[in-house]
Amino acid sequence: MAIRRGRGVAAINYPTGMNLGGDPTQALVHSTPTGNFMVTLSSVDLGQGMKQIMAQICAETIGVPTDRVIIDTADTDTGPHCMGTFASRGTHRAGNAVIQAAKEARQVMLEVAAEELEVNASDLETDGQGNILVKGAPQKSISIFDVALSAHFKRGRSISGRGMFLIPRSYPEKETGAMKPSTCYAHACTVAEVEVDDETGEVTVLTVKNVFEIGRALNPKMVEQQLVGGSWMGISHALYETTEPYYPNRDYGGTDFNQYLMPGPGDLAKTEIIVLERPSADGPFGAKGPGEMCANPQIPAVANAVFDAVGVRIDTLPITPERIMRALKAQAAG
Amino acid sequence: MELRKSYFADVRQNGLNEIGQPRPRLDSPGHVTGKTAYFADRNFPGMLHLKMVRSPHHHARIRSIDTSEAEKHPGVVKVLTAKDVPHNVYTILILIQIGPEDETVLADGKVRWKGEAVVAVLAETERAAQEAAAKVKVDYEVLPAVFDMEEALKPGAPLVNEYHGQNYYLYDSGECRKVRFGDVEAGFGQADHILEQSYQSSPIEHAPTETTGCVVAPEGNDRFTCYTNTQAMFFTLDNASIILQMPGSKLHFVGGTVGGGFGGKVDVIVEPIAILGAKLTGRPVCFIYSREEEMQISSPRAAEKVVIKDGVMMDGRIVARKVTGYTDAGAYSRHSPYGAQKGAAHYPGPYTIPNVWIDTYCVYTNRTPSSAMRGFGVTIGDFALEVQMDKLARLIGMDPLEFRFVNAYRDGDMKAHRQPTEGAALIECMQEASRAANWPVAEKYMAMSSYTKGA
């Protein structure tokens, strides 16, 4: 009887957005009288930080700091339509809609600035700090604060924009399954190292090394929180979680966090996250949706590592000590 | 976390001010100091609490329902049954034309899973609602139930859901969604080895910190404001509009700050009945799942069974892959027909295989309806595919990582569902994993690129 060590690898891809398309999101952007920008949406922030990312996308597109952007979302009386937050679609779909709306607002902003500076709008650029400058002559400039005041009180312009993103619906061909299920795909490769106690069947995940390719890390700290959390959830899925431990038997289902097992802080593996960025052709600044896929590769990587450690295959999730012990007994029985 | 900027540097836009910056989240201070307001922080004078009477049986005919004792219970204001729901039989994906309507808001004549909602009790306090719910008498005639997908698909199995007429979802392509690419039998014929294996998963729970729920307030102008933690505002509003036969203009949904979803909050379950309660009583109503309801009543991730048959050559090339996937929808569709279809599009995984045959089934059984969950249609498929890849590599004596390089898809490769591959990056992820995990592979694999097939 011994503690045995093994490692396993898995590589995956994952589609961004609702399968087969047909999932619209719209956005509206307008400036306040003093040059702050409101983004109006009906998308939902589940805690992953959707509002923050939309603020950064709008700020980048208009050319202002992120703290000049306010997100007003998820009120059906004011927010334009969003299909919802699921299918790794929030950043990709809503982000594209925000870019389109922000571009239209930026154009009006530059036109007002051009009138104030008596130049062509096409000769203007933003400095990202809240000012609009004449290209090549940066001493000639106007603040966005003053541009917004002018638009509201002098020029009678609405610095605003409308944005819409829709991937058309694809209908699978009945006999061949020919279809366009997705736009862009995120990728991952995970290597997991485990120890398996062949006396108790207990698995300890020592390390997980995850490489994720996500198009573009729009906010690297937020990407990190999502990828680390996803990696933990993958391990949990592989080894712990089920509402029906003896599926298809319906008995013994957990009803609270004492009975429904998940790894606690002491069970967390040493987690390494490496991110690659191959911008997608249709994502906001190249971003893809990493939200779902980051919890997937750990499951087979852990399963393969368990085999590498003790030489038995557990092809039923979750990989519990009971299943490992039964497999080891069967193996010993020859 | 490390960003490896050396990969794909030639195609990345630089010179951005806000994008790519690790700006602190504007909502974090509120979250960590307890100041963020969630839907359940709304509390209105005179608010009623809704509790469900649920089926104790997996499958049963309802002979009669007697609510008289419950109605007399102190604090009870209203008791709702199926006849009170204007459009009681619904399905959420009807909004994107995926029918038929197959589920009841409150059970009508039959229950099809243990835990199904039968009667809704509205009372002044949560306790009164709970106590009154226990006084509702339902006379059941227990029917044979089926829990196993293979059993459910056999002739003569108990019929789970009459709205489907058989225990599987009927796609326009027939009993399953199909993908056919190349000639899979010819592929098996030329293979050095054939390996057929079966994989299985159990349902799992989203386990969000905040349980599913909503608070509904009738407004003075004949409208209803629904404070909700749904993941999809208009999707829920539009479904509520259908179920209540109420114009969408009468409904106002407010949400957007949610304590975790993971797909568990895209079923439209709590909002329509709570709005109905508010309409029929004229009072605010809250309906919030207990932790037990969240664990066993709210949809879990579907259990799946995946059978993979591969033909592989000794040089590592997979020449044929046949996948049969089964998704256990439980008693009702919810999002499961979509999930099973998503699986058909995902197989055979991120590998270029010339001969592919995919069948994915959505199967009905007498269990808690499953639905959306982080990665559904793909997550369990990836478990099956990637364990299968490990077995294949060992079968032919190849390193498992090198085996994946041999088969990895690259730009321009035709996928089984007949879309050319674009923006591939699997090879680069594996190259970086090889370095990070100190898992060396042959130099020729480290020289590969997703851009072209190359040499």
Please, which residues have CB within 8 angstroms of residue A334's CB and are 6 or more apart in sequence? Answer: none
Record: contact B428-A276, CB cut-off 8 A: yes
What are A86's two structure tokens?
């699921």
pLDDT for res A183: 87
Per-residue burial over A147-176, b if 16 or more Cβ lie within 10 Å, else e, is bbbbbbeebebebbbebebebeebebbeee
pLDDT for res A1: 79
Residues of B in contact with A205 (CB under 8 A): none
pLDDT (tens digit per residue) in A135-179: 999 999 999 999 999 999 999 999 999 999 999 999 999 999 999
Could you tell me how far CA B310 lies from the centroid of its own chain? Answer: 28
What distance in Å separates residue B210's CA from the closest CA in chain A? 10
Above 60 in pLDDT, residue A53?
yes
Q: What single-letter DSSP state applies at residue A152?
A: I
Same domain, B305 and B231: no
Record: contact B1-A275, CB cut-off 8 A: yes
Above 90 in pLDDT, residue B355?
yes
Residues of B in contact with A257 (CB under 8 A): 207, 291
pLDDT (tens digit per residue) in A70-100: 999 999 999 999 999 999 999 999 999 999 9
Same domain, B119 and B267: yes
A49 touches chain B (CB under 8 A): yes
Record: contact B203-A247, CB cut-off 8 A: yes
B97 touches chain A (CB under 8 A): no
B92 touches chain A (CB under 8 A): no
- Least trusted range by pLDDT, from A62-66, A262-266, B395-399: A262-266
CA angle A66, A72, A74 (to 5 degrees): 135
Contact A83/B232 with Cβ under 8 angstroms? yes
Helices (H), B360-442: 379-395, 400-407, 426-436
Residue B426 lies in a domain: no
pLDDT for res B453: 58
pLDDT (tens digit per residue) in A199-221: 999 999 999 999 999 999 999 99
Name the residue in chain A with its Cα closest to that of B436. A209
Same domain, B109 and B220: yes
Same domain, B291 and B327: no
| In chain A, domain spans | 3-16+182-333, 25-165
Q: To which H or E segment does residue B50 belong?
A: strand B48-54
Strands A185-197 and A3-15 turn out to be: antiparallel
Record: contact A46-B341, CB cut-off 8 A: no
Region A121-127: mean pLDDT is 98
pLDDT for res A334: 83
Region B203-223: mean pLDDT is 97
What value does the mean pLDDT of chain B take? 97
pLDDT (tens digit per residue) in A219-242: 999 999 999 999 999 999 999 999
Question: At which of B296, B318, B346 does a domain end?
Answer: B296
A233 touches chain B (CB under 8 A): yes
Question: At which of B260, B277, B296 does a domain end?
Answer: B296
Domain housing B245:
48-142+207-296
What is the CATH classification number for the domain harbouring B365? 3.30.365.10
Same domain, B137 and B182: no
Could you tell me how far CA B54 lies from the centroid of its own chain? Answer: 22
B22 touches chain A (CB under 8 A): yes
Record: contact A74-B254, CB cut-off 8 A: yes
Residue B255 lies in a domain: yes
Same domain, B129 and B221: yes
Same domain, B256 and B349: no
Question: At which of B296, B325, B352 does a domain end?
Answer: B296
A191 touches chain B (CB under 8 A): yes
A185 touches chain B (CB under 8 A): yes
pTM of the entire structure? 0.97
What value does the mean pLDDT of chain A take? 96
Please report, rounded to a whole number, the percentage of residues in chain B having pLDDT higher than 90: 97
B23 touches chain A (CB under 8 A): yes
Same domain, B198 and B323: yes
Interfacial B residues in 391-410 facing A (CB < 8 Å):
391, 400-401, 404, 408-409
Above 70 in pLDDT, residue B203?
yes
Residues of A in contact with B97 (CB under 8 A): none
Residue by residue, DSSP assigns B76-91 as EEEEE-GGG-TT-EE-
Contact A58/A87 with Cβ under 8 angstroms? no
What is the CATH classification number for the domain harbouring B135? 3.90.1170.50
Above 80 in pLDDT, residue B392?
yes
Residues of A in contact with B330 (CB under 8 A): none
What distance in Å separates residue B377's CA from the closest CA in chain A? 10
pLDDT for res B455: 38
Signed CA dihedral, B401, B406, B408, B410: sign only: positive
What is the greatest pairwise CA distance in chain A?
Answer: 89
pLDDT (tens digit per residue) in B101-158: 999 999 999 999 999 999 999 999 999 999 999 999 999 999 999 999 999 999 999 9
pLDDT for res B14: 86
Above 60 in pLDDT, residue B404?
yes
pLDDT (tens digit per residue) in A272-298: 999 999 999 999 999 999 999 999 999
pLDDT for res B452: 78
The letter for the amino acid at B213 is: G
Minimum-distance CB partner of A303 among B235, B387, B417: B387
Name the residue in chain B with its Cα closest to that of A293. B375
What distance in Å separates residue A157's CA from the closest CA in chain B? 27
What distance in Å separates residue B446's CA from the closest CA in chain A? 15
For residues A263 and A146, give the distance between their C-alpha atoms in angstroms, rounded to a whole number: 54
* The CATH classification of domain A25-165, taken from the options 3.40.50.10860, 2.60.40.10, 3.40.710.10, 3.30.365.10: 3.30.365.10
Contact B192/B295 with Cβ under 8 angstroms? no
Above 60 in pLDDT, residue B454?
no
Same domain, B64 and B195: no
For chain B, the first-to-last Cα distance in angstroms comes to: 33
pLDDT (tens digit per residue) in B41-52: 999 999 999 999
B264 touches chain A (CB under 8 A): no
Please report, rounded to a whole number, the percentage of residues in chain A having pLDDT higher than 70: 100
- Tally the domains of chain B: 2
Contact B261/A46 with Cβ under 8 angstroms? yes
Record: contact A187-B429, CB cut-off 8 A: yes
* The CATH classification of domain A3-16+182-333, taken from the options 3.20.190.10, 1.10.3720.10, 3.30.365.10, 3.30.43.10: 3.30.365.10
Same domain, B291 and B385: no
B56 touches chain A (CB under 8 A): no
Interfacial A residues in 117-146 facing B (CB < 8 Å):
128
What are B389's two structure tokens?
């890849």
Minimum-distance CB partner of B296 among A83, A241, A255: A255
Record: contact A189-B430, CB cut-off 8 A: yes
Above 50 in pLDDT, residue B429?
yes
pLDDT for res A87: 92
Above 50 in pLDDT, residue B226?
yes
Same domain, B393 and B266: no
pLDDT (tens digit per residue) in B256-284: 999 999 999 999 999 999 999 999 999 99
What are B121's two structure tokens?
């009790």
B206 touches chain A (CB under 8 A): no
Residues of B in contact with A57 (CB under 8 A): 18-19
What are B256's two structure tokens?
């957007």
Residue B151 lies in a domain: no
A22 touches chain B (CB under 8 A): yes
pLDDT for res A230: 97
pLDDT for res B215: 98
Residues of B in contact with A91 (CB under 8 A): none
Interfacial A residues in 144-173 facing B (CB < 8 Å):
169, 172
Residue B55 lies in a domain: yes
Residue by residue, DSSP assigns B97-140 as T-----EESS--SEE-STT-EEEEEEESSHHHHHHHHTT-EEEE
Record: contact A295-B374, CB cut-off 8 A: yes
Same fold, A3-16+182-333 and A25-165: yes
How many contacts (CB atoms, under 8 Å) link A and B?
Answer: 407
Please, which residues have CB within 8 angstroms of residue A164's CB and are 6 or more apart in sequence? Answer: A24, A25, A26, A27, A97, A100
CA angle B184, B311, B382 (to 5 degrees): 90
Same domain, B251 and B400: no
Find which of A60, A67, A75, A187 to mutate to test the B interface (most B CBs within 10 Å of its CB): A187
